[in-house]
Amino acid sequence: MPEMKTGAEIVWECLVREDVEVAFGYPGGAIMHTYDALEKYPQIHHVLVRHEQGAAHMADGYARATGKVGVAIATSGPGATNMVTGIATAMMDSSPIVCITGQVTTTAIGGDAFQETDVTGVTIPVTKHNYLVTDVKDLAYTIKEAFYIARTGRPGPVLVDIPKDVQIAATEFVYPEDPIELPGYHPPARAANAQVEHALELINNARRPVILAGHGVMLADATQEVLEIAETGSIPITTTLLGAGGIPASHPLNMQMMGMHGEAAANHAIQEADLLLAFGMRFDDRVTGKLASYSPDSKKIHIDIDASELNKNIRVDVGINADLKVVLNQFKPGVKKINRAQWLGKIKDWQEDSSDRDIINADTNGILYGAQAIRDLWLATKDYNPIIVSDVGQHQMLEAQYYHHEKPHTLITSGGLGTMGFSLPAAIGARFGAPDDQEVWVVVGDGSIQMTITELATAVQENSNINICLINNSYLGMVRQWQELFYNARYAETPITGPDFVKLADAYGLPGYRVSKREEIMPTLEKARAHKGPALIEFVVEKHEMVYPMVPAGANLNDMIRRPKA
């Protein structure tokens, strides 16, 4: 016979049945009943964050590290609205999280009650779906449906808003066992035969093809399929920022990242290609440069699980709305083995020109550069395939250029929304999802870390074994770079002060180290690695470091500002 349970208990019962092991949250008046029931469910570890934005980022980091659904919890009003930035970040980057928020009683909704906010209305544009549950009898099914929507098709965030009286009310609890069936929501699988035949004709007739590998390659677990097609057809590959790791960086066909701060060879190849094969990516502006002149002479094949992405920014010749792994397996038997040595040779020439311009190969007169710090981090840790969680700014682009990821899901960063402050809380979440023997490193700037630096307390409280590489150039570096290049070096509000980060680390209860010379990097990294628990390394770097190449906003993809040759 079904047990009577309150709405608060049903929340945790549902999370247990969805195999949730950890939840990130912050209690408050409208969610207090749910927190009061938490002690009955010791199998779920709750992490007390220091700000609700951090809860959403932690759930996001956990989801990206594991492929499971992350869970964040907050109270109504400011608690719920504090999560919106994290929800939008997850939405832009297709990360499956479920956010549970408290709400004022159903009778008070619409009356401007204390800490009332229409959070479902606020989050409509930044969630895959959301719910306001007004009847306790609907709660269990709603939560199960929320998890189903979050994880299937193109993953994304779902919010469930639960009024206080629904949390207090009791009903017979039966967890729905039948599969979820939603009218109109049937994520597709296969491509039509005619689409496959057309695509194969374009692939086999192309002389200068390029594969654009996006985040969807990893979400579809399609790395092997992409490699088999590329190797059979001798097709070079370039990745998006979020696609890093989906193709091993060391693979000879991998040209690395494309776009605004991508590799020059990749951008030149795209512009001169006669065929683009876009796999699980969305042609955003940081990838394309000027849309009107993007890869002007190429045919285009685009495969994506989200139909809305097809022909949204770039018109394509073959648009396939289906599961990428399934479609690539449809392609494989028909891809011909073709020698494209001339095309690959041209790309190699572009790559050699880039090597001549690399700051790593230049004499920096003993001045420490962020690029050097990240390259040495890669050299010190590459054999262990750690998870790198990078923030947003120059250090993010330097990480993408100088840390070479060999395996999927080893780079976690805010790509679409570009959320400063993402990395520290996301790394805490990733730590909970990663195996104990996999290292987790944060790459963050002095501006970014100050947005969510309070989560150091969470890291210490949970003894999260994360290492923080703080790239400190005393500027909002990426904005300063734009000001130098396009605003006549008028550095309006980009010089930024901060605390003594080593002393601050000590105040929070974690070891802090400072590095200002390159020869100090390796021994300091080893000290941090040896410490079991959170540690912070501040790298004091050149203030006016530039990230090259750079495609100016509105420019053609191959019209890059380049670093002079060394």
337 counts as catalytic? no
156-183: per-residue pLDDT in tens?
999 999 999 999 999 999 999 888 888 8
pLDDT at residue 438, rounded to an integer: 97
Q: Give pTM, 2 decimals.
A: 0.96
Active site residue 92: no
Structural domains in the chain, CATH included, are 3-173 (3.40.50.970), 193-350 (3.40.50.1220), 365-540 (3.40.50.970)
Nearest to 499 by CA among 536, 540, 450: 450
- Identify the pLDDT of residue 361: 76
pLDDT tens string 349-392: 999 988 878 888 778 889 999 999 999 999 999 999 999 999 99
pLDDT in tens, the chain (566 residues): 689 999 999 999 999 999 999 999 999 999 999 999 999 999 999 999 999 999 999 999 999 999 999 999 999 999 999 999 999 999 999 999 999 999 999 999 999 999 999 999 999 999 999 999 999 999 999 999 999 999 999 999 999 999 999 999 999 999 998 888 888 888 788 999 999 999 999 999 999 999 999 999 999 999 999 999 999 999 999 999 999 999 999 999 999 999 999 999 999 999 999 999 999 999 999 999 999 999 999 999 999 999 999 999 999 999 999 999 999 999 999 999 999 999 999 999 999 988 878 888 778 889 999 999 999 999 999 999 999 999 999 999 999 999 999 999 999 999 999 999 999 999 999 999 999 999 999 999 999 999 999 999 999 999 999 999 999 999 999 999 999 999 999 999 999 999 999 999 999 999 999 999 999 999 999 999 999 999 999 999 999 999 999 999 999 999 999 988 76
Dist CA 54 CA 74 (whole Å): 11
Cα 209 to Cα 77, 212, 221, 236: the distances in Å are 51, 10, 23, 7
Identify the active-site residue in 3, 40, 43, 114: 114
The yes-or-no answer on residue 309 being catalytic is: no
pLDDT of residue 566: 65
Spot the catalytic one: 5, 68, 144, 164. Answer: 164
Catalytic hit among 32, 115, 137, 522: 115
Q: Is 407 known to be catalytic?
A: no
Please tell me the distance from the alpha carbon of residue 335 to that of residue 327, in angstroms, as a whole number: 13
Cis peptide, bond prior to residue 549, ω within 30 of zero: yes
- Choose the catalytic residue: 18, 52, 116, 455: 52
Per the CB < 8 A criterion, the answer to whether 37 and 63 are in contact is no
Q: Is 478 noted as a catalytic residue in this protein?
A: yes
Burial class (CB in 10 A: 0-12, 13-18, 19+), 460: middle
